Amino acid sequence: MQKSIIRGLLIASAGLALAAGSTSCTKDLDQEPRFELTPDKVFADLQGYRQVLAKLYAGYATTGQQGPAGGGDIGGIDEGSSDYIRQYWSAQELSTDEAVVAWTDPGVQDWHNMNWNASNILIRGLYSRIFYEISICNEFLRESADDKLSARLNADDAATVRKYRAEARFLRAVAYMHAMDLFGNGPFVTENDPVGFFQPPYYTRNEYFTFVEKELTELAADANFADARTNEYGRVDKAAAWGMLARLYLNAQVYTGTARYTDAALQAKRVIDAGYRLTEAPAGEVASAYGRVFLGDNDATVARTEIIWPVVFDVNTTQSFGGTTFLVNGSTGAAADWQRKVGQTTGWQGLRTTSALFNMFPDTTLDRRGRFWTQGQTLQINDLRQFSQGFGVLKFRNVTSGGQALGGSQNFSSVDFPMIRVAEMMLIYAEAVGRGGSGDANLALGYVNQIRRRAFGLPTTTPSPVADVTSQVLAPNSTFLLDERARELHWEGHRRTDLIRYDRFVTAAYVWPWKGGVAAGRAVETFRKLYPIPAADLSVNQNLKQNEGY
């Protein structure tokens, strides 16, 4: 499998003081392990820089220095639970109509019950994981300054590291964007701040937005940042910057109070025009064209043409109890047929969905995106802790497009997680134009219908009276695109942000089973649109301010 950026990664950072200059996380969530090698030894040559770059990417996929368990990057939380994708996904999905969880570990049920507080250990873990990623990116940027490159490397190698530097800036910008979206406000640190004990200044959501926009805009014009579709698989390029800008601008009114829909449409269109396209070839009897995007060999098949930035996972080289291992195993039951379907020999019996998502699909025989495990499961949920209540979601499956199971005896996953893919860009363009942004309304509708035709197993370029919708779905007061995003992008980490943008996350205008801890669902406090800054961080950084309501 083509996952070379990750191979050999764990030998890279053992001994490197990557946590220097990070946020004021408490001692029990301190960045670990303690490092012994100095930066001059780690960043001694091009290979050293490349290995640390791999660690920056792996910050989104792995949890520590010694495989799935051992030498965790952050303490105070079970290492397997501390994975970036696992925590980000939980905050974005378990708090919504798309997912529930049966486990009763500390803090887990708070996600769907929407009763979390500033002491929730998982929110602390999410916060620390985000700022750990920022801290290691800052260290890389600090050690790749021009004066250090000229002292350590020849001109050709220094030029290569400047390309790596652009990628590090992107990865840091994404982490800050997640902090802005989830927490709104918080600490701010860059490579220019002091190393060692340092209380970072407090940044507002508007200030975060300005920083992220500036970084992504500069990268989109940076000659050192790879052009679209020219970088090594698993690494980012200008198209990823355009894609994150499109997402940023789509939500700009929530973040800043000022709509930026024309900008969202422009950036989404740049990505679409770069040559990414929907996967249209099904994998025989194994998966539909849509389902193929989420198989264990999505890095090596036509699915690659759809994914703009994958977080790479491999059963042998990026073992983690988070990421897509969490999504595959966590949503699988004890039935052998179920386990074979997803390519594993175990099931963690945790994640399911509610009737709200299932009911988004009027006919799952037509819409291939609606794939659920119903045998032995009830649609109605009377007890969130009972795994048999709620349908299973068969989206991420650890099998190849030829049907070969990849989990083996280790039961880790090789499914790459799509952080950005072209279908999202098409839906962003449609929504942005529908909300009043400049663009082509016919093209916007065409993108929606292409997505729906693929979902119905039809050629994307052929009009269909069954799959196609009319221009009414683009009306500003329509929630069709919100529902279509749920059908197309469910379990990909978008739902909370989408519901907030449509003002349906906390209000009584839309409820789902067990929203707010009530079986029928209820409105919750407005302040829950943001997560709290962990109380422990507030206690050690007097510059920070708690979000309203906590």
Residue 33 has pLDDT above 90, yes or no: no
Kindly report, residue by residue over 282-301, the tens digit of the pLDDT.
999 999 999 999 999 999 99
Number of domains in the chain: 2
Q: Cα separation of 453 and 465, whole Å?
A: 10
d(CA 114, CA 91): 10
Instruction: Say which residues have a Cβ less than 8 Å from residue 455's Cβ, sequence separation at least 6.
Output: 290, 367, 368, 369, 467, 487, 488
Amino acid at 419: M
The H or E element spanning position 20 is none
pLDDT tops 90 at residue 115: yes
Q: 407 and 353, same structural domain?
A: yes
Q: Are 39 and 17 in contact (CB under 8 A)?
A: yes
Contacts of 169 (CB under 8 A, 6+ apart): 137, 141, 215, 219
How many CB atoms lie under 10 A from the CB of residue 253?
A: 14
Flag whether 354 is in a domain.
Answer: yes
Return d(Cα 141, Cα 123) in angstroms, integer: 27
Same domain, 247 and 396: no
Share of the chain above pLDDT 70, in %: 92
Is residue 244 in a domain? yes
Predicted confidence band of residue 31 (pLDDT cuts 50, 70, 90) = very low
Mean of pLDDT values over 157-169: 98
H and E: helices and strands count for the chain:
20, 8
Q: What is the mean pLDDT of residues 144-152?
A: 97
Half-sphere exposure of 495 (CA within 13 A, CB side): 25
Structure confidence at residue 63 as a pLDDT band (50, 70, 90):
confident
Check whether residue 404 and residue 329 sit in a common domain. yes
d(CA 143, CA 146): 9
| Predicted confidence band of residue 112 (pLDDT cuts 50, 70, 90) | very high
Cα 223 off chain centre by: 27
**Within a domain: 16:** no
pLDDT of res. 293 = 98
pLDDT interval class at 38 (50, 70, 90): confident
Upstream peptide bond of 282 is cis (omega within 30 degrees of 0): no
Distance CA 214, CA 198 (A): 24
Which residues lie closer than 8 Å to 386 by C-beta, 6 or more apart?
102
Q: Which residue has the higher pLDDT, 99 or 71?
A: 99
80 versus 398: which is more confidently predicted? Answer: 398
Alpha helices (H) along 369-510: 422-434, 441-455, 480-489, 495-501
Element (H, E) at 96: none
- For the stretch 189-234, pLDDT in tens is 999 998 877 899 999 999 999 999 999 999 999 999 999 999 999 9
Task: Decide if 473 contacts 483 (C-beta within 8 A).
Answer: no
Cβ–Cβ contacts within 10 Å for residue 289, how many?
21
Rounded Cα distance between 278 and 454, Å, is: 8
Residues 317 and 305 in one domain: no
CA distance 453 to 466: 9
Instruction: Reply yes or no on whether the pLDDT at 181 is more than 50.
Output: yes
pLDDT band at 35 (very low <50, low <70, confident <90, very high): very low
443 and 482 in a single domain? The answer is: yes
- Specify whether 333 is located in the same domain as 482: no
- Domain stops at, among 415, 436, 464: 415
Tens of pLDDT along 348-387? 999 999 999 999 999 999 999 999 999 999 999 999 999 9
- How is residue 366 written in tokens? 């037509």
Q: What is the span of the domain harbouring residue 359?
A: 313-415
Residue 255: inside a domain, yes or no?
A: yes
- Enclosing H/E stretch for 420: strand 417-421
**Any alpha helices (H) in 286-421, and if so which ranges?**
289-292, 323-330, 336-342, 355-358
- The per-residue pLDDT for 119 is 97
Model confidence pLDDT, tens digit, residues 402-440: 999 998 888 999 999 999 999 999 999 999 999 999 999
Alpha carbon 14 to chain centroid distance?
Answer: 26
* Residue 67 confidence (pLDDT): 66
- Asked if residue 326 belongs to a domain, the reply is yes
Backbone φ, ψ for residue 283 (5° rounding): -100, 70
332 and 396 belong to one structural domain: yes
* The pair of three-digit structure tokens given for residue 541, joined into one six-digit string: 């950084």
Sign of CA pseudo-dihedral 64, 66, 68, 70: negative
283 and 271, same domain (yes or no): yes
Tokens (6 digits) for 240: 């990823």
Q: Which amino acid is at 234?
A: G
Domain contains 217: no
Query: In percent, how much of the chain has pLDDT > 90?
Result: 86
Here the tokens at position 265 are 């449409």
Query: Looking at the domain assignment, is residue 113 inside a domain?
Result: no
In this structure, is residue 399 part of a structural domain?
Answer: yes
Q: Return the CATH number at 460.
A: 1.25.40.10
Q: Can you say whether residue 420 is alpha, beta or left, with left for phi > 0 and alpha for psi between -120 and 50 degrees?
A: beta
pLDDT score of 18 more than 80 = no
Verify that 403 and 423 share a domain, yes or no.
no
Choose the final residue of a domain: 377, 398, 415: 415
